[in-house]
Structure 1
Amino acid sequence: MRSLDPTGNDDGGGHALRAASRLHAFNRYEIKYLLPVTAVPALRRVLAGRMEPDSHSAGSGGYGVWSLYYDTRDLRFYWEKIEGLRFRRKLRIRHYGDRSTIDDDTAVYVEIKQRVNRVTQKRRLALPYRLARELCDGRAKVAQDPFLDEVLELLCGLDLRPIATTGYQREAFVGRGADAGLRVTLDHRVRGRDRDFHLGADAENRLIVPARLAVVEFKANERVPYWLTDLAAELNLSVVRMSKYCQSVEAFGRAPRSVFHVPDEATATRIEV
């Protein structure tokens, strides 16, 4: 089964399920907020008037985003985020869409996400899920590619292993005209688990962010337009440093609750997905 990148970038059109796709890389600024779900309709109306729905979420209520994060035994990547290091990174396998359809041939992304000062950088390649697991879990060289060599070096050099998954339903809007390069995402029902790490596993997940909250992100190549920052002020949005990965680590007791942990009066709720 072939999968497209909901950021609007096709994985190559002729993506061969036997090999890696071309490298996709980009830099951008990201600002994250928490918004009560009761305020989401008002935000959605404004965004729909100024932006275009992502082609994968138009008229469908969004799409699933599922990620498996790798880290060291002592959670090096987690602590780099909590401590706010100017250079930090993390490794993950990500799938867009219905996780119940994932099989060995499903295209997923092997991704290094890193932060350099205030800029977020992402580099990723699409692989069939079978090869992604052989690379990240089996530490096997699955293709001749410099990026995959870097991933393998990270895995072996730091002895990385799967730590946590996250999943959520995403609505996305993309800028038009003068706002080209702008992207706004609204993530609902943010959940995760700390075991059964196959992305397609029929496993129980726990809400790791209260169901009453949506995670909103503004993503821009250069700057966020004034109309959007004004809108954030009107909605009384406050910038947060929460990380879905860190939230999952803390929700399952792998690390103490940090000062960035989202208040969790609802995080004990269990849901079947």
Structure 2
Amino acid sequence: MRLPFRREPAAPEHVSDDRSGHSLRAPSKLHSFNRYEIKYLVPSDQIPELRAEIVGRMDSDSYGAGGGYGVWSTYYDTRDLRFYWEKIEGLKFRRKLRVRHYGDRTNVGDDTEVHVEIKQRVNRVTQKRRVALPYHLARELCDGRRMVDHDPSQEAFLEEVLELISLLDLRPVAMTGYQREAFVGRESDVGLRVTFDHRIRGRDRDFDFAADAENRLIVPARLSVVEFKANERVPYWLTDLAARLNMSVVRVSKYCQSVEAFGKAPRSLFHIPDYETAEV
């Protein structure tokens, strides 16, 4: 059964006078970049037509040749899923913490480079900040809750991550993975990025990237998530293309989809029905 937009008002973390919790809801002045994002849910059999239009105006991402690359993310949240509910409730400022790996997860080891990321939304603008760390240091920081060896330029961000984890008692909640094709703008479209995400999977335990664990489709295989991302505005030729192909804007979060797919929260109005399931 789908829930209404709001949850029941029973989370003291959101309504208490906890000053540390309140301060962590304030937008940070530090960020890598700002961008606007538009998401679409597209039947996979429509992707070749969309791809043919895109490659005429954009270049393939340097990492995306030969069919794309894997993207795996472990998401952290509170016991009562604060970050999940902030997304479902559409708060104007919200954030999430994740550790992300690009590539084949089965080859991940202690020294594999991963990214510790804070992704946050301020009104309609998405801000993403991250640092690259060896996987064993990322786990020590996020799971062990200890400061790790780092470059001095990373210190402020790592302190923020550690504060977020410690004060909110964050822990791994869900993992997502998918195959991504990415395209970048050229000439007048510098800063534009378009991604196609296929075979979106997840799991709710065994959060080591290389763990020999079952992953399950959390979005039907017949659907792909397409995102338009721009520093200032999405160009008219791209929005016109979306209209011509009858692409409908959706409000979808892979993290929220994974949380709901594994029964950690009732399915919201934004859940993509899982008419198909499979082990991968």
Question: TM-score, with normalisation over the residues of structure 2?
Answer: 0.87
Q: Residue 36 of structure 1 aligns with which residue?
A: 43
Asked if the contact 1:92–1:112 (Cα under 8 Å) also holds between the matched residues in 2, the reply is: yes
CA distance in 2, matches of 1:251, 1:139: 28
Number of the residue aligned with 1:15: none
Which of 186, 193, 198 is the matching residue for 2:203? 193
Quick check: 2:31–2:127 contact (8 Å CA) kept in 1? Answer: no
- The counterpart of 2:194, out of the listed 181, 184, 188, is 184
1:270 aligns with 2:278: yes
Of residues 66, 84, 87 in structure 1, which corresponds to 2:93?
87
| CA displacement 1:68-125 (0-9 Å, x = unmatched) | 0000000000000000000000000000000011000000000000000000000000
CA shift digits 1:160-182 (9 cap, x unpaired): 00000000000000000000000
Moved over 4 A (4+): none
Between the aligned partners of 2:80 and 2:235, the Cα distance in structure 1 is 40
The Cα RMSD (Å) is 1.0
How far does residue 143 in structure 1 lie from its aligned partner after superposition? 3.2
The letter of the residue matching 2:177 is: G
User: Is the contact between residue 107 and residue 210 of structure 2 (CA under 8 Å) also seen in structure 1?
Assistant: yes
Q: Kindly indicate whether residue 55 of structure 2 is the aligned counterpart of residue 51 of structure 1.
A: no
- The match for 1:134 is 140
Out of 112, 117, 134, the position equivalent to 1:111 is 117
1:154 aligns with 2:164: yes
Q: Give, in angstroms, the shift of residue 66 of structure 1.
A: 0.1
Tell me the alpha carbon deviations over residues 214-266 of structure 1, each in whole angstroms, 9 at most, x when there is no partner.
Answer: 00000000000000000000111111111000000000000000000012111
Quote how far apart the aligned CAs of 1:199 are: 1.0
User: 2: distance between equivalents of 1:221 and 1:24?
Assistant: 13
Partner of 1:253: 263
Task: Report the equivalent of 1:223.
Answer: 233
- The percent identity for this pair of structures is 76
Instruction: Note the alpha carbon deviations across 1:140-165, whole angstroms, 9 max, x for none.
Output: 11035110000000000000000000
Q: 2:74 aligns with which of 47, 68, 83?
A: 68
C-alpha contact 1:24 1:125 (8 A) present in aligned 2: no
- Quote the offset at 1:24 in angstroms: 7.5
What is the DSSP-based 3-state SS (H/G/I as helix, E as strand, rest coil) of the residue aligned with 1:199? coil
Q: Give 5+ residue unaligned stretches, structure 2.
A: 1-29
How far apart, CA to CA, are the structure 2 residues paired with 1:69 and 1:197?
9
Structure 1: any 5+ residue segments left out of the alignment? 1-22
Is the CA contact (8 Å cut-off) linking 1:29 and 1:119 kept in structure 2? yes
Contact 1:135 1:141 in 2 (8 A): yes
For residues 57 and 138 of structure 1, the distance between their equivalents in structure 2, rounded to whole angstroms, comes to: 33
Q: Could you say which residue in structure 1 is the equivalent of 2:174?
A: 164
TM-score, normalised on structure 1?
A: 0.89
